[in-house]
Amino acid sequence: MKKDASKLWSFFPVTFAAAFFCCILWGSASPAIKIAYKLFGIGADDTASRLMLAGARFMIAGIMVILFFSVINRKFLLPKRSSGRLILTLSFLQTVGQYFFFFMALAHTTGVRGSIINAAGNFLTIVFAVYIFRLEKMTLRKILGCIVGFSGIIMILGGGAALAEGGGISFAGEGAMLTADIFYALSGCCIKIFSKDEDPVVLSGYQFLTGGIILFIIGRIMGGALVFATASCWGNLIYMGFISAGAYTLWGILLKYNPVSRISILGFMNPVMGVLLSAAFLGENREAFSLTGLLSLVLVSLGIIIVNISKDKAEMK
């Protein structure tokens, strides 16, 4: 059975199709969240209700991951007693920190800009892994990929001149998305370190759940509310939970049966799907298919491809 599974998931057409589906899920996050704001009637300045929405999403995602892998492993997925500190650290970085700013950003910027800027996390992870956590060595290829990728992000923000003059971005919008990327990069490095002591599936499932509970409680204390006016509210919330749980689960399976670089390089489709789905569901066609939008998307996608091309063992410490 294991050999059959390995052949199936390492067969490139299957690998590509599964990775493509994951990127569709992740790419749909921005439009799904912006649609949720309309369904739940959450205004741009309603931080409390926004936190409750994010918390509800990740509680559902955590429960999905825990239950799914419990069924797969035929025993309930439980963390080690010593893993509490690791789960709390990850929940603060990956769920509470990252998605506090991610949800804030999408209330103040377009889905297209958010999807492209969000790709900065791929490049910040490399910078942090090399210079802060000392997990990897910097190479010319990584430098080139980061330069190309960040060029695309600077372009969508209006270019260097606009940034120097303080225009093109706001802290609540684009600035918040970049802050979310910082938390994403930190959490990615921590997962790599913590996975030596605990199953990454356990870490992710329980940090989703823990972080979701924390966000939900904070939002409720601040006076937030989630009004389920229609059945669409429930459908949207469950789907947002599935985005994280489903994509994480499938991506993890792909990493199990394929070289990391082979899967990581397919992540270039993530911002592409984010832009296309924002255009399709949010009506942001003008920005998505403008010259600036297209060039920015090409650059960030190319940057992701460059930094993930066939990693050499010599790059790792």
What span, in angstroms and rounded, lies between the C-alpha atoms of 76 and 208? 17
For residue 170, pLDDT beyond 70 = yes
Say if CB 183 and CB 94 are below 8 A apart. Answer: yes
* pLDDT tier at 197, thresholds 50, 70, 90: confident
In the prediction, which pLDDT does 160 show? 62
Residue 40 neighbours by CB under 8 Å, 6+ apart: 49, 53, 226, 227, 228, 229, 233
End-to-end CA distance of the chain: 34
pLDDT in tens, 86-120: 999 999 999 999 999 999 999 999 999 999 999 99
* pLDDT tier at 159, thresholds 50, 70, 90: confident
- Residue 133: helix, strand or coil by DSSP? coil
Joined together, the tokens standing for residue 316 give: 């790792």
For residue 164, pLDDT beyond 70 = no
Tell me the three-class secondary structure of 115-151, residue by residue: HHHHCHHHHHHHHHHHHCCCCECCCHHHHHHHHHHHH
Say if CB 150 and CB 303 are below 8 A apart. Answer: yes
Which H or E run includes 41? none
- Residue 283: helix, strand or coil by DSSP? coil
pLDDT in tens, 251-274: 878 877 877 667 778 888 999 999
* CA neighbor of 272 nearest in space, from 166, 151, 118, 137: 118
- Residue 136: helix, strand or coil by DSSP? strand
DSSP 316: B
Give the chain's largest Cα–Cα span: 60
pLDDT in tens, 9-51: 888 888 899 999 999 999 999 999 999 999 999 998 999 999 9
What span, in angstroms and rounded, lies between the C-alpha atoms of 138 and 143? 7
* CA neighbor of 87 nearest in space, from 214, 173, 178, 253: 214
Which pTM does this prediction carry? Answer: 0.89
Say if CB 212 and CB 62 are below 8 A apart. Answer: yes
